[in-house]
Amino acid sequence: MAIGLIAAACTNSAVGNENAGNDDSGSDDSGSDSGSDSGSDDSGSDDDGDGDTVELAQGDEVVEFQVQTGVPASSVYHELVIKWGERIGVMSGGRLQAEVVPSGGVVGALEILDAVDAGVVPVGMAWSNYWTGKSDSAALFSNPPVGSTGMDQATSLAWMYDGGGLELYERLYTEEIGVQVKPLPMMPMGPDPFGWFDTPISSVADVQGLKFRSPPGLPGLTFDRLGLEAIAMPGGDIVPSAQSGIIEGAEWISPADDRALGLSDVWSNYYLQGLHQSTDIGELLLNLDWWNELPADLQEIILVATQATIVDSQNLSITVNAAAVADYQAQGIDIWNTPPEFYDEFISAWNEVAAELEAGDAFFAEVRASQQAYADAVMPYRLTITELYQNIGETYFPEKVGSDPS
């Protein structure tokens, strides 16, 4: 897929390559892509520096491209992709120009992967669990139930960068699904709330047979095992489906995005603790031909900007979701704690689903084994230090959001 990039001028400047474990530049040598064994001769600096350097080709060619997101324009996460596009524009001196369009702008949300693979749009934003129809392993990289092996969101990201997850993530697309697409983790936005209901839910028996909008893939399989009738659909279809009686309850992404979709205008009982997506990491998808034709400096700009969006997403999620919950309380929405019974029952149901999939899918088993090994190594320490923050917080703020349903 040609994009007509020509390196019109070379600055001969040396830039330190700090890819922080991201072995995804498409080069066998992460320190250089120019064939130069020195970047210090023309840099105008007497400091030899430490580590590898890379000579970056700077061109006048402008790369204009579309990014298709998997969320409506009203979503705070659509806004984050717009910010990502603005950031790469500034960082590249205007050489990267992204036009960000919402779900349905070019294709539907569930068609984004195929569209990126075919080059209909060179870049997309979605969640890997959208592609579980192509591979059950897909959701393990985004929002597996109970963090797959009990990991939290920060630990799941650490597994990607430090535990071999990124390599497995790329294999998912190029080998298991068979598309020419490069994935990058972009937006940690969990945990997702359990969701919205007509009446309070106090036990697992209360959800038996309930028609419930659920994410596709592993969460839906686990909800089915728990007795709900899980129905997958894009966010924009939730309110119309509720109004027509297709669904009786729903989950989406977060308090802020749920409010933007108008879910609080349909239901009045809200549960914040969702085991089905205790981690939720959005992804950036890049057409491999398009990516490989980019100069190394533009590739690095995209990598760094995507990592910066992880920080943006973490910060934004705390700020806007807390504000949304306060608005719900002022509106009179009943916010409930997920009943303790759901933890044991849901985790048991997930373990059954995971064991069955491991038995029939070698790649699924390989990913889960990698996640389990990383969780075994880090979670005892992680739980110990997070308990510190929990105890401090409860001392300062003994009152929490949510009541126990009776």
Contact by Cβ (8 Å): 21, 287: no
Cβ neighbours for 242, distance < 8 A, ≥ 6 positions apart: 248, 250, 266, 267
The C-alpha atoms of residue 311 and residue 382 are separated, in whole angstroms, by 19
Q: Tell me, what's the pLDDT at 12?
A: 33
Q: Tell me, what's the pLDDT at 337?
A: 95
pLDDT in tens, 63-110: 999 999 999 998 889 999 999 999 999 999 999 999 999 999 999 999
> Does residue 33 register a pLDDT over 50?
no
Q: Which amino acid is at 142?
A: S
The C-alpha atoms of residue 340 and residue 50 are separated, in whole angstroms, by 53
Where residue 343 falls (left for φ over 0; alpha for ψ -120 to 50; beta otherwise) is alpha
pLDDT in tens, 334-370: 999 999 999 999 999 999 999 999 999 999 999 999 9
Q: Tell me, what's the pLDDT at 234?
A: 85
Q: Tell me, what's the pLDDT at 215?
A: 86
> Does residue 333 register a pLDDT over 90?
yes
Query: What pTM value is reported for the model?
Result: 0.82
Phi, psi for residue 219 in degrees, rounded to 5: -60, -45
187: part of which helix (H) or strand (E)? strand 181-188
Q: Tell me, what's the pLDDT at 59?
A: 59
pLDDT in tens, 252-298: 989 999 999 999 999 999 999 999 999 999 999 999 999 999 999 99
pLDDT in tens, 206-233: 999 999 999 888 999 999 999 999 999 8
Contact by Cβ (8 Å): 368, 354: yes
Strand partners of residue 212:
230, 249
Q: Tell me, what's the pLDDT at 235?
A: 87
Contact by Cβ (8 Å): 184, 303: yes
Q: Tell me, what's the pLDDT at 58?
A: 55
CA 86 and chain centroid, separation: 20
Size of the chain, expressed as the number of residues it contains: 406
pLDDT, greater one: 92 or 33: 92
> Does residue 30 register a pLDDT over 70?
no
pLDDT in tens, 140-158: 999 999 999 999 999 999 9
Q: Tell me, what's the pLDDT at 13?
A: 31
- The mean pLDDT value of the chain amounts to 87
